[in-house]
Structure 1
Amino acid sequence: KTYHSDSANMWIDIQRALRRVKLQFTGVGPTCFQLQVPSFRPPATTKTVLRQLKSHMRDMHYHAWCDLKDQGRTVGAHEGLGSRFLSRGGGLLDCEYRFAIAARMNLIATRAVLKRTHGNSNSSCRHCGRTETETLPHVLQHCPHNEASIRARHDLSLRRIAAAIAKANPSCRLLVEQPLPEFTDALLKPDIILVDDANKTAAICDLAVSFDDGNIQGSGLTGFQTRAAEKIDKYGRLSRFLGSKGYDVSSCALIFGSLGSVLPDNQAVLTSTFNLSRGTATKLQTQLSSHHIRLCRQIWRRHSSSRSVFQGRPGGPARAA
């Protein structure tokens, strides 16, 4: 802070500070002026000026982050329960907390990032050879070297969700990763099927842990919303079959981000469709957010420190003897 003994220099500093945050005073009459913050209709007063300035600066930094082509990709997904760990810890260790922040800003030292920042010539995945670029989405979602860990992350989350649903619906029939016995296509196995034979209602739900993507796509939906729509369409035949049997069917999806994001629609699915209380649903999603961050850090550490499963010439798997 700079302190001045005269008001003229103090007002110069105030004007400079306002220019930095893209604000300015406007005149009201010949002798008065006021501060108008764009996102607020009434002008700032002595009681509201601090709140309006904080909100304006938060929005300004948010939009600046969104405008970053590379580091701003995941910003739209980080809201609500998915970012609660930032202020409450979420039971994360310091190293896990730092990983989550760095990963959300795409600062994890994958080969793609090192090529962009340090000019490294090789950006291919250290385990897949030259067939894939080593980006963070590839490491956390698609790399065959991490397939077992990626699957375990999904299964552990599914078990927690299924346990909460079973507790909230003790009189209903719950199928977890099982085909519906009376349905002919045994290949259609949603993650969760909840059937209430007494009230003739059924819920079909699939879980996805996707890479955080809140960008609006050509369809007008975010990456999470598009993923949810795909999950619902996948089990359309099963939904129509139950409907033909007289059941009132609800098809839904639970979408979480591998970096801790939570689709806001999850809350309605858990409370309205699966009858969880609001407190239980909020606690479950907050725990899963931290759980995914913790597991993704483990996936990254294993990926970056373990020996490649592909041996032999660089650029491809080893030849069979």
Structure 2
Amino acid sequence: MTPTIKDVAKLANVSPSTVSRVIANNPNISPKTKEVVREAMNDLGYHPNYTARSLVSRNTQTIGLVMPSSGDKVFQNPFFPEVIRGISTISHDKNFGIYMTTGNSEEEIEQGVYDIVQGRRVDGLIVLSSKVEDPIIHYLIDKNFPFTVIGKPYNLESQVTFVDNDNVKAAFDATEHLIRLGHKRIAFVGGGMELVVTMDRLNGYLQALDDSGIKQRDEYIVHHEFLREGGRDAVYELMSLDTPPTGLVVTDDVMAFGIVNTLEQMGKKVQRDISMVSFNNVIFSELANPSLTSVDINIFQLGYEAAQSLFDQVDNPNLLPRRVTIPHQLIVRDSCGNPPT
């Protein structure tokens, strides 16, 4: 005979309602009681019927992730698997599933979000990027639908719960590291200016130059996709200048990896001929040759805190919007040296 909640309650010596609250991961249940009930569930081989529970409670036990572009591009960048790992860790603890939506165009992504919200397919959404003009965020605010953003929502900071780094300070620190090594010809390689993270990191770069009395050179600021091909195109553009830079602030490790490979093909070596600081500190930052000096933005924690903030909203719809700032750290390795003489 299939075990029931009553069977679990009897074995754990608690009420059936307590078992239900443990299954729902109610924060008001003590860890000791949760442990006793879960042991009883395991001993009996009891598995909650989440589909039936969702029909009664009108909750889906699922959260949605809004990917910024098509899957074939997104998963070329290790940032996204790592941020999803952070999200899935806490989601698993709360017995929530994850639903991902993406598309091959902005219109497809937007339509996917509209369908999810109108069909109540998930209990809340995590938007994995922030753009200057973002109709998805405005739509979710208008619909009063629970959501959080990884990144800073442009001009909506007081209305939206979001998790982010201090990207201005992070880029300032990266640029200052090169300045301290003696570099004055420092270029900035970023993503598109429609992304808020690019704007913030560009501002940090410019602040560091200004504080050191280094004149901004427009030709040293280039924008390409956060892909290896983006790094390749950026380095061709910069190295073709009459006076190429000696230092690079690259806003993504994947782009930096493309730059390292391209420079090698051009007969130049990172650190000896050109120094580079990048962002994200993904696994191959340390494995690259030379290993990359990189800003560790704690990607896992960005995902974990975004999910936690979303679950807080789901549990308490009247919660006021808040900002969670994840600390960063400059990890110094072998890709930087003094400028060539």
TM-score by length of 1: 0.33
Structure possessing the higher radius of gyration over alpha carbons: 1
TM-score by length of 2: 0.32
